[in-house]
């Protein structure tokens, strides 16, 4: 793990080898997801090294591709899952079900059936509950195993209101009700931990708020008796610099602040970074198909769309972009959009990019988290291929979909 402690805190889009990217686009066509598994391992390893006696689980929902899960497992990681499909895919990737943690948020019956069936032979599985109803539903299924209680710390943090979960009533047991729920859990289950996940995309500036939420978890752990808890899980939410001039998170400072915020505890500290592990390990390559001079701007049309990467449309997120084919050209302020018929399908407004021409390949950076994971088939667009880089080699880990993939479930229904 120590090999990773010194890996760079950030990989920016300018750090990628453009010739390599251009040849990947030529070989595998566009739009194309590229995922560098060596960087995934570095990110997981560097994060773990900053929290030496904590237990760091990768939050699978940021990127549930099998190759990514395998990479995390290879460097000794364990996995936090938020749905039955993520549990199943983690097991397929080689995870020991006894080490998985399942965070149940308004869990559908099928998810609880799956998790409780899994726990019969794998009593190490931990289920995190955020509602008393979930406890009752687990008991109905004969479950009496390991439970962590998700606390609502009453403080949300993060880069966007849609991901600041800490104060949202949807998530976790209301703070003041936690001791009573803890008693209830202890009566019928094995209470192993407390959990909270306050938000997402926290950078150095947001650390103080983030740590205020965390200190509430530590406080509650002491209230319910941390000597009887195995762990206190402070969730994920650690951000990456999307803008070229954003500073990366200082992990040493983060680690010190988190430790100080949770305070003295007998229980082990757990963390669940998702984005941090995969964001800068991934990018999208896309081809320019249209250049249009409009009165106020130049519009650059590309073959990636909000169906490929929805973050700009959904969260207003900034993603760095580069002209991979001709980085030496003069920068030109352009508006970059895809083929989907909504004005939300825009990756950049008035962004200086080395003057794109039709046929150029552009890269959209920091697309490794919540990228392919949220891709859709909107506009009957088959989803892109994904290529993994590892040990200097590349391989397709998800082939490009075809229109047959898009229509398969209809055809199987007799349409």
Ligand X SMILES: *Cc1c(COP(=O)(O)O)cnc(C)c1O
Smallest distance from ligand X to CB 273, Å? 5
> Rounded to whole angstroms, what are the CA distances from 193 to 61, 307, 358?
21, 38, 55
**CB closer to ligand X, 90 vs 103:** 103
- Smallest separation, CB 238 to ligand X (Å): 6
Measured from the CB atom, the residue of 233 and 287 that comes closer to ligand X is 233
Query: In which residue are the tokens 């008393």 written?
Result: 132
R_g of the chain computed on alpha carbons: 22
Per the document, the length of the chain is: 415
Smaller CB separation from ligand X, 153 or 236: 236
CB 146 within 8 A of CB 103: no
What is the spatial distance between Cα 225 and Cα 219, in angstroms, rounded to a whole number? 10
Query: Using the rule CB under 6 A, is 273 a contact of ligand X?
Result: yes
The residue among 277 and 354 lying less far from ligand X, judged by its C-beta, is 277
Helices (H), 78-161: 84-92, 109-121, 132-140
Q: Report the candidate in 288, 401, 402 with the shortest Cα–Cα distance to residue 339.
A: 288
Per-residue string for binding with ligand X, 87-106, x by CB under 6 A?
----------------x---
Binds ligand X (CB under 6 A): choice among 43, 64, 134, 200? 200
Q: H helices of 142-282, where?
A: 178-188, 207-224, 251-262, 275-278
CB of 82 to ligand X, least distance (A): 5
Nearer to ligand X, 59 or 249 (CB): 59
Active site residue 341: yes
| Out of 36, 272, 280, 287, the residue judged to bind ligand X by CB under 6 A | 272
β-partners of residue 292 are 299
Here the tokens at position 340 are 């989907």
List 51, 231, 238, 318, residue binding ligand X (CB under 6 A): 238
Instruction: Note whether 78 binds ligand X by CB under 6 A.
Output: no
Q: Which residue has the tokens 């919540």?
A: 370
Q: Does 275 bind ligand X (CB under 6 A)?
A: yes
Q: Does 236 bind ligand X (CB under 6 A)?
A: yes
- Of 2, 121, 295, 341, which is the active-site residue? 341
The number of C-alpha atoms within 13 Å of 104 and in the hemisphere containing its C-beta is: 29
Interface with ligand X (CB under 6 A): 59, 61-62, 80, 82, 103, 197, 200, 235-238, 272-276
Give the residue numbers annotated as catalytic, written as ranges: 341
């Amino acid at each position: 793990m120590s090999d990773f402690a010194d890996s760079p805190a950030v990989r920016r889009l300018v750090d990628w080898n453009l010739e390599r990217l251009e040849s990947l686009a030529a070989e595998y066509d566009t739009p194309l997801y590229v995922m560098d598994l060596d960087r995934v391992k570095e990110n997981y390893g560097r994060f773990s090294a900053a929290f030496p006696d904590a237990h760091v689980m990768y939050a699978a929902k940021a990127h549930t591709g099998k190759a990514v899960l395998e990479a995390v497992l290879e460097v000794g990681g364990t996995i936090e899952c938020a749905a039955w499909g993520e549990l199943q895919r983690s097991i397929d990737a080689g995870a020991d079900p006894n080490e998985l943690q399942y965070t149940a948020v308004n869990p559908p019956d099928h998810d609880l059936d799956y998790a409780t069936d899994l726990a019969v032979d794998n009593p190490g599985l931990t289920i995190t509950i955020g509602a008393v109803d979930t406890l009752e539903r687990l008991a109905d299924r004969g479950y009496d195993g390991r439970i962590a209680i998700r606390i609502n710390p009453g403080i949300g943090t993060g880069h966007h209101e849609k991901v600041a979960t800490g104060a949202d009533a949807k998530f976790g047991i209301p703070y003041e009700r936690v001791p009573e729920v803890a008693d209830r859990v202890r009566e019928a289950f094995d209470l192993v931990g407390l959990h909270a996940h306050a938000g997402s995309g926290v950078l150095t500036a947001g650390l103080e708020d983030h740590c205020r939420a965390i200190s509430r978890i530590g406080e509650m752990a002491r209230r319910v008796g941390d000597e009887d808890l195995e762990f206190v899980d402070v969730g994920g939410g650690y951000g990456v610099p999307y803008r070229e001039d954003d500073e990366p998170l200082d992990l040493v400072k983060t680690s010190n602040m988190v430790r100080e915020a949770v305070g003295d505890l007998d229980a082990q500290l757990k963390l669940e970074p998702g984005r941090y592990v995969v964001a800068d390990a991934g990018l999208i390559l896309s081809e320019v198909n249209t250049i249009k001079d409009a009165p106020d701007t130049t519009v650059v049309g590309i073959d990636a769309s909000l169906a490929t990467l929805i973050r700009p449309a959904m969260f207003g997120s900034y993603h760095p972009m580069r002209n991979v084919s001709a980085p030496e050209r003069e920068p030109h302020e352009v508006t970059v959009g895809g083929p989907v018929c909504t004005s939300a399908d825009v990756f950049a407004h008035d962004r200086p990019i080395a003057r794109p021409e039709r046929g150029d390949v552009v890269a959209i950076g920091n697309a490794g988290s919540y990228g392919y994971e949220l891709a859709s088939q909107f506009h009957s667009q088959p989803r892109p291929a994904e290529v993994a880089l590892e040990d200097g080699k590349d391989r397709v880990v998800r082939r490009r979909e075809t229109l047959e993939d898009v229509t398969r479930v209809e055809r199987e229904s007799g349409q």
